[in-house]
Structure 1
């Protein structure tokens, strides 16, 4: 349990899931203590979360862009493939994982409020995501001027049917059923 005493610092140093306070090593997560006798480290290995186990089996995730930084976008993962999550997982997309083309800013590829389809790169929290593949990217977006749903114009442009605004995104391409 978090706060449980695992050893004194003279016996074992801190490892994953542990911290040291006044010469004593404590657990920082709910899990099982593991004593590395060779490296003289104590680790507290956290129990796996069901969302992370499901994430490892999923091919893609659906999420909402909730923040844009200089070199990354923050994503709230809402579902794994077509299965909704009980609680959202936190994820992010680094600018290098958006496209093989050069981007001036992340806003050239996605904006806050966009719904995206992405692929997990790793299974740690926050989950690193990629949208480099052709079938990954923005699947739904709203106009940044009037808030109306945007419609696909071509491979990377969306047009607002109400105000005529044209915006650029890294769009996901889907294979339509029925031969189109």
Structure 2
């Protein structure tokens, strides 16, 4: 039995059927009671039911307090990019949709959004709205691309300077909005 109010993910074991029955937001599987959705666990001690209360308000509160989120760029249009957010700070969450506008990629002028990010990049961003889709910004020294792959050969890019990444495999150089947390630097 988990502590009352614990934040849990779908599939988390809540109890066994000898202790509790499945309630709202939970289900029984092979004698185990599991969470059917993300939220807070609530045990009804009178009716002996395991319940999971949806975490929409919890997600809103977490986003409002968040200094940053992590996500992957899933698609790019003319002026916007769609981001799948999978982590609020260091806590993994069920994926939610995010949007990044070209005007929110850097403190300087960026001609096209692909000068800052590309599809498949993993970014560290700050939420500026708190409902889905979550609007994001990369303005800030610690925000930007943290993992990127070469658009030619697919290898992991490494930091060449403050705005450029280099492929150690084919030598391709690409421009990105790089955060302080870029995974690797080019060794001289």
TM-score, normalised relative to structure 2: 0.65
Match of 1:59 in 2: 67
Shift of 1:174: 3.8
- Given candidates 120, 125, 128, the residue that maps to 1:118 is 125
Aligned-residue CA RMSD (Å): 1.5
**Unpaired segments of 5 or more residues in structure 2?**
1-54, 183-188
Shift of 1:124: 1.5
* Partner SS, residue 130 of structure 2: coil
**Unpaired segments of 5 or more residues in structure 1?**
1-46, 176-180
Match of 2:86 in 1: 78
Match of 1:101 in 2: 108
* Partner SS, residue 84 of structure 1: strand
* Partner SS, residue 110 of structure 2: coil
- Given candidates 91, 96, 99, the residue that maps to 2:98 is 91
Alignment check: 8 A CA contact 2:68 2:125 kept: yes
Shift of 1:161: 0.3
Q: Does 1:133 align with 2:140?
A: yes
Map 1:144-155 onto structure 2 (within 5 A). Answer: 144-155=151-162
Shift of 1:164: 0.4
Match of 1:15 in 2: none
Shift of 1:59: 0.9
Which portions of structure 1, spanning 4 or more consecutive aligned residues, are displaced by more than 2 angstroms?
47-53
- Given candidates 166, 171, 177, the residue that maps to 2:178 is 171
- State how many pairs are aligned: 128
For 1:168 and 1:124, the matched residues in 2 are separated by: 31
Compare 150-159 and 53-62 and name the one that shifted more: 53-62
* Partner SS, residue 146 of structure 1: coil
TM-score, normalised relative to structure 1: 0.68
Compare 141-150 and 92-101 and name the one that shifted more: 92-101
- CA deviations 1:45-98 (Å, max 9, x no partner) are xx944322221221100000001011111100010001111x101001111111
